[in-house]
Structure 1
Amino acid sequence: MEVTKKGTTIQSLQIGMGIVDLIAKQGKPLKFTDIQDLTQITKSNLYKYLNTFTQLGILYRSKDTGEYVLGSKLIEYGMAAADHENVVERITPFLKEINEKSASTVLYSSWTHNGPMVVKDININRGYNIGAQIGTFLPIHSSCGKIFMAFMDEQMIRDWKAKEFMQIPPEKVSQLEAERYIIQEKEISFAREPLVSSVSSVSLPVFNYKKILLGAITIVGFTEIIPHDEKHDLSDYLIQISKEISGCFGYKSQLN
């Protein structure tokens, strides 16, 4: 077997991963022309890279718009890398129970360098889904984003917070910073979804035995049925089941 010299690299692989990294950092679907403008790679070579990555599932190309986004294979790799405790598999029965109890879409999100990303969704009625899809990055002012802002290590989320805070008014930033302490105390967060005024969400943390945040569970539904504070009957149920879920990973909640 040939021994690879230290420091040697495969240039084409570096270029290819550079394209994937660029698409990931844009945070939105990109057309072929957008990617070419950003990379300055010739059309023929860029087509080969994109076609190869699409066939491998690393990228996904929309049949309707022709735009490229990260593919399911990357999500699979990311979950394998960041989810050694098989969190998704172990909490899926709880997600199904919450879905039935709330009659709303239930999401599970984990951390990535681009912020919290949906990696699992549960909805018994697929024709009636108002939640985000797998692979969606959730903003800091969403109920899910607030959970990560409140419980993730500050060094890990520093760049994400700075980027997110640049996109919202200063008064909203101050409000989020103040709300963080309440979320840390109550271990639940609430939000009216910014894109659809009739939709609200509530999120809960999932901790391990060291109280390290493994991810967040989010319930998304019409505003009139989603709780807005912890006094709601559904909130009480969610807080109790979140204790049970984190308890599966050894976390002992101090909440009563």
Structure 2
Amino acid sequence: MIGVEHVSLGIEGKLLLDDVSLHCAPGSLTALVGPNGAGKSTLLSVIAGDLAPDRGRVTLGGQPLDRLGVRALAQLRSVFPQGSDIRFGYMVQEVVEMGRAFRDLPPDDDARAVDAAMGQAEITHMAWRDAQTLSGGEQARTTFARVLVQDTPVVLLDEPTAALDLRHQERVLAGARSLATGGATVLAVLHDLNLAAAYADTVVLMENAAIVAAGSPWEVLTAARIEAVYRQPVCILTHPERGCPVVLTT
């Protein structure tokens, strides 16, 4: 569903993506990880159509991204932007409803979809609050609900858990996992390696504008590789219930 082929991008003389290739299949959750400045958010922005690469090409569902207009993109991909700050004075429910604005979906289903998404994000009780009065975590949950109601086959999440408490980090990633199980292609930028290990099918590790490793959490999140990329000693344990790797600093 997501195809990235030999993409490179430079801005103001700085190379942000260097010959990056990535393919994500329907029904998968891929986590993009790596240190600050590695190129994760830039890659997500290129896939979303917000930045145009200097070289290479991106396809969504087999369609070249550069041939898709705004409305066509809205049918294919939803985006949780980094920061997710809401800077306009709409009510929370109205922000969520915006996820349906450009979608060619039956309008009779809008109310049900909005109610379900707000319930999943645990923001129903805030429906008629001014979105600008919310905390950072509440705004992030509102943005995630907006992504859910857009109901697209590709879901792009840029640090969706950054402002969230422990419970809501787990709920958002569990929601993303559920979307993938339902057939969506989910690509998430994550800084928490343990969340990536717990929920992702594939972990893609970036460093210096390039992909340095891609594979299952156990294949990518090795102590040697993490120490080399992050310059931080770690040890890797096995989660006692999930069976996934757990990364601990030493």
Q: Same fold (TM over 0.5)?
A: no
Structure ID, larger Rg = 1
Structure with the higher strand share, 1 or 2: 2
Larger RCO (CA under 8 A, 6+ residues apart): 2
How high is the TM-score relative to the length of structure 2?
0.29
Structure with the higher helix share, 1 or 2: 1
